[in-house]
């Protein structure tokens, strides 16, 4: 116990005396979450559009009012014909045009149907598809109201579960927490262990009667602690600045984070156990852990749409399981009974990584 305390003390001294790294590790989570929060937002406000209203009756005006009132769109032009629409795309920078057919109101009341035409600027695919969805949502809302008034047809009520405002914060906060934890715990623990190999202090330690598990714990606990501070900072910013909800229990969330940090740190040790220098450790962590975490965790790119090989590969990386779990806890408010399987997977991974690192440290053969 005295030995473990002393080793932990030594590791904390390493961290505290390396001021630059410490500052980086503490400031990075805050910088990253703000960066992502303000730049990666996929919500679009006040997109420029033009409306060609060929009907000019009360219903078409009502529809245009609905569109402007939604806040997503700003009607910058009312062209008279389709040629002008083309010019609006080129000269006025509109992203989308809506054409309301002639006799809109008549058609609605007599034929119970009318065709709206929507023209998109698809030079930016993401923006186009998001705006298209907005138009659909607005038109749907309009149709529902119209149907209620006329007491006719069917009625669709959409209820947006878990993310009523379709906010992108819900997507990126779990992702950012994952990235930070992987970066700080895995990268830092793998680099410091590789550094000891590089400087020869690891051989010095191994020649002493020190317990190898103590060396491992010494490399895991301090970086978990640092990364935990970062996680708390991200959570506070997410909740206060970006209005991210924590629907599940805070305790559950923190336990989940601690388990994931343990898994990440042990992954870092696994990496340093197969690398000889700090540069090796860094490259392997970046290519072998960080990239897959970004690409294969389902944080930026949906896993379901990937080729089968990658969907299977994603299971090997802890991030996928953590993101599933943290989304459940933060957004759906799930408890231990819903996510115990994810926790178990993460714990088993940690144990496997640690055992492997231990055997690599003890390579007397």
Contacting residue, 160, 207, 308, 309, with other proteins by CB under 8 A: 207
Stretch that binds other proteins, among 82-90, 148-156, 194-202, 322-330 (CB under 8 A): 194-202
Q: How far is the CB of 32 from other proteins (least distance, A)?
A: 27
Given 27, 204, 213, 291, the residue binding other proteins (CB under 8 A): 204
Q: Assign 270 to helix, strand or coil.
A: helix
Quick one: which of 203, 243, 279, 316 contacts other proteins (CB under 8 A)?
A: 203
In the numeric block, which tokens belong to residue 311?
A: 């969907």
- Residue 19 sits at the vertex; the CA angle it makes with 14 and 261, to the nearest 5 degrees, is 60
Q: Which stretch binds other proteins (CB under 8 A): 13-21, 86-94, 172-180, 275-283?
A: 13-21
The H or E element that residue 39 is part of is helix 19-39
Q: At 318, is the secondary structure helix, strand, or coil? A: helix
Say whether residue 188 binds other proteins (CB under 8 A). Answer: no
Q: Which stretch binds other proteins (CB under 8 A): 11-19, 98-106, 107-115, 244-252?
A: 11-19
Q: Specify the stretch interacting with other proteins by CB under 8 A; choose among 93-101, 134-142, 185-193, 200-208.
A: 200-208
Phi, psi dihedral angles at 242 (to 5 degrees) = -105, 5
Among 10, 45, 112, 136, binds other proteins (CB under 8 A): 10
Question: In DSSP terms, which residues pair with 73 in a beta bridge?
Answer: 47
Of 17, 90, 110, 159, the residue at the interface with other proteins (CB under 8 A) is: 17
Q: Contact between 158 and other proteins (CB under 8 A)?
A: no
Asked if 357 and 274 touch (Cβ cutoff 8 Å), the reply is: no
CB of 200: closest distance to other proteins in angstroms? Answer: 4
Interface residue with other proteins, options 83, 90, 160, 209 (CB under 8 A): 209
List 42, 46, 109, 201, residue binding other proteins (CB under 8 A):
201
Return d(Cα 270, Cα 250) in angstroms, integer: 30
Among 28, 210, 239, 246, binds other proteins (CB under 8 A): 210
151 counts as binding other proteins under rule CB under 8 A: no
The token pair at 116 is: 């709206």
Residues composing the chain: 365
Work out which of 90, 110, 159, 364 binds other proteins, going by CB under 8 A. 364
332 Cβ partners below 8 Å, 6+ apart?
162, 247, 248, 338
18 contributes a contact to other proteins by CB under 8 A: yes
How many residues at the interface with other proteins, by CB under 8 A? 23
Strand order in the sheet with 96-100: 73-77, 47-53, 96-100, 117-120
Mapping DSSP to helix (H, G, I), strand (E, B) and coil, where does residue 121 land?
coil
Q: Please report the DSSP string for 142-180 in residue order.
A: HHHHHHHHHT-S--------S-TT--THHHHHHHHHHHH
90 binding other proteins? (CB under 8 A): no
Interface ranges with other proteins (CB under 8 A): 2-3, 6-7, 9-10, 13-14, 17-18, 199-201, 203-210, 364-365
């Amino acid at each position: 116990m005295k030995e473990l305390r002393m080793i932990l003390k030594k590791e904390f001294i390493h961290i505290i005396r390396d001021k630059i790294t410490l500052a980086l590790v503490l400031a990075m989570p805050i910088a990253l979450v703000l960066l992502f929060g303000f730049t990666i937002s996929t919500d679009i406000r006040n997109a420029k559009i033009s409306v060609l209203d060929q009907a000019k009756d009360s219903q078409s005006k009502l529809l245009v009012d609905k569109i402007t009132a939604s806040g997503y769109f700003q009607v910058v032009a009312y062209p008279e014909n389709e040629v002008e629409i083309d010019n609006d795309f080129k000269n006025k920078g509109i992203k989308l045009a809506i054409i309301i057919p002639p006799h809109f109101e008549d058609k609605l009341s007599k034929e119970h149907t009318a065709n709206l035409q929507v023209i998109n600027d698809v030079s930016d695919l993401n923006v186009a598809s998001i705006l298209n969805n907005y138009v659909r949502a607005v038109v749907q809302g309009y149709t529902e109201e119209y149907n209620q008034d006329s007491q006719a047809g069917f009625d669709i009520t959409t209820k947006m579960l878990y993310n009523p405002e379709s906010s992108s914060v819900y997507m990126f906060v779990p992702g950012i927490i994952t990235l930070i934890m992987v970066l700080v715990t895995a990268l830092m623990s793998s680099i410091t262990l590789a550094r000891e190999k590089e400087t020869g202090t690891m051989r010095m330690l191994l020649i002493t009667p020190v317990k190898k598990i103590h060396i491992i714990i010494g490399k895991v606990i301090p970086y978990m602690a640092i990364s935990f501070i970062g996680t708390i900072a991200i959570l506070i910013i997410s909740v206060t600045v970006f209005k991210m909800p924590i629907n599940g229990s805070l305790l559950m969330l923190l336990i989940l984070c601690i388990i994931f940090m343990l898994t990440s740190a042990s992954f870092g040790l696994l990496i340093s156990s197969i690398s000889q220098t700090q540069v090796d450790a860094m490259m392997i962590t970046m290519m072998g852990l960080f990239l897959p975490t970004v690409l294969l965790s389902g944080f930026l790119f949906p896993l379901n749409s990937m080729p089968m090989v990658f969907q299977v590969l994603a299971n090997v990386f802890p991030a996928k399981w953590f993101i599933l779990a943290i989304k459940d806890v933060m957004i759906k408010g799930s408890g231990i009974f819903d996510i115990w399987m994810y926790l178990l997977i993460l714990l088993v991974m940690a144990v496997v990584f640690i055992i492997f690192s231990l055997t690599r440290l003890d390579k007397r053969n």
